[in-house]
Amino acid sequence: MKRVFIGLLVVAALVLGGAYAVRGKIAFKIMERRLATAMANPVIPSLPDGLHVAVCGAGGPFPDHDRGGPCTAVIAGKRMYVVDTGEAAGRTMGRMGLFGGDFVVLLTHLHSDHIDGLGNVALQRWGGGALTTPLRLHGPAGVERVAAGFTEAYALDSTYRTAHHGPTIMPPSAAGIKAHGFVFPEGQDSVVVLEEDGVKITAFKVNHGPIDPAVGYRFDYKGRSVVISGDTAPSPVVAKYAKGVDLLVHEALSPTLVNLIREASLKSGNAKRAQIMQDIQNYHTTPWAAAAIARDDKVGALLLNHVIPPLPLKALEGPFLGDARTVYTGPLWIARDGDLISLPVGDRTITRSSLLH
């Protein structure tokens, strides 16, 4: 009897082991096929001519399982511009298939949550494409210090990469970051930062005091337009540059939910955290105030990003939005990592899909 039982156990183990082996083989085949498909169809060349917004980080500075630090890639034709590189930006861009060619990074301001991921983004760019020049970084005053700091922090790593893969694969000339700071002309609230291949990028001043300068960006390409607010309290300058745009990407903080964290902090005796939860509210914008700008500016769609606080339950989206959907009745989305909002040239359509699902 005992021998039969042991025999059955052995058979069960073999069957289970066989099943695992088969599952492993199937998974291996699926991966092989997915890799071939992904490599044969790089994302950017496969997009129709137009403006596309790819969300490579929809969150703010809070630890957030679902949303990385601020990162919004704008693809105009075949060129890509990455606005802010928060924590996990490089990983998420990689998962979205956004590396492989050259691109430019633009910073809205120099708060840590907007630059945390810059080193890795520069490294992934260097390793991902056949490039001979460093990453171009545009931003307001102070951006030179940020570029120099990251370049120095990665200086040793850069020598290791070149030593290991050789200077043809990893040319030292393409390592690091080259800063291009901009200033606003006297008395002006905006400045054209770049104009190339039909793409015009305008930086405008926003209200994120005491952080000064802090800017938002407007992208114009072949009749389509996107405005990215950057971090700001409700600002007439954002409203001025967002008038009639196809897509407004606006930051959003819910005081209702942040006050919940504040009260929990007070109850648990953490007065410092409670004070920070109080302080952050005056230099951000509520979802309903962003909706009012979208309504008054008659924008085509509103995408709320820099989502504060994290929304660990989908059902929290209602309390987060408050009455924003009543205020603005056009398409309104809470940004998620992987989102792709497409504005093709030649018509007025705005579609949302995902590069992660």
| Residues annotated catalytic, as ranges | 113
Q: Where are the alpha helices (DSSP H) in the chain?
A: 2-40, 43-46, 89-96, 112-115, 118-128, 143-153, 155-165, 236-242, 255-267, 271-279, 287-297, 317-321, 324-327
Minimum distance from CB of 109 to Zn ion (Å)?
Answer: 6
* Maximum C-alpha span of the chain: 95
Minimum distance from CB of 326 to Zn ion (Å)?
Answer: 27
Instruction: Annotate 170-183 with b (16+ C-beta within 10 A) or e (fewer).
Output: beeebbbbebebbe
* Alpha carbon distance 186, 132 (integer Å): 36
Residue 243 CB neighbours (<10 A): 14
Output 65 or 357, the one with its CB closest to Zn ion.
65
* Alpha carbon distance 288, 166 (integer Å): 53
Output 123 or 206, the one with its CB closest to Zn ion.
206
Output 64 or 231, the one with its CB closest to Zn ion.
231
Whether 175 contacts 126, CB under 8 Å: yes
Output 113 or 246, the one with its CB closest to Zn ion.
113
Minimum distance from CB of 199 to Zn ion (Å)?
Answer: 25
Minimum distance from CB of 222 to Zn ion (Å)?
Answer: 30
Residues at the interface with Zn ion (CB under 5 A): 111, 113, 231
**Of 355, 289, 332, residue with least CA distance to 54:** 355
**Tokens, residue 287:** 């979802």
Whether 337 contacts 55, CB under 8 Å: yes
Output 226 or 253, the one with its CB closest to Zn ion.
253
Minimum distance from CB of 316 to Zn ion (Å)?
Answer: 20
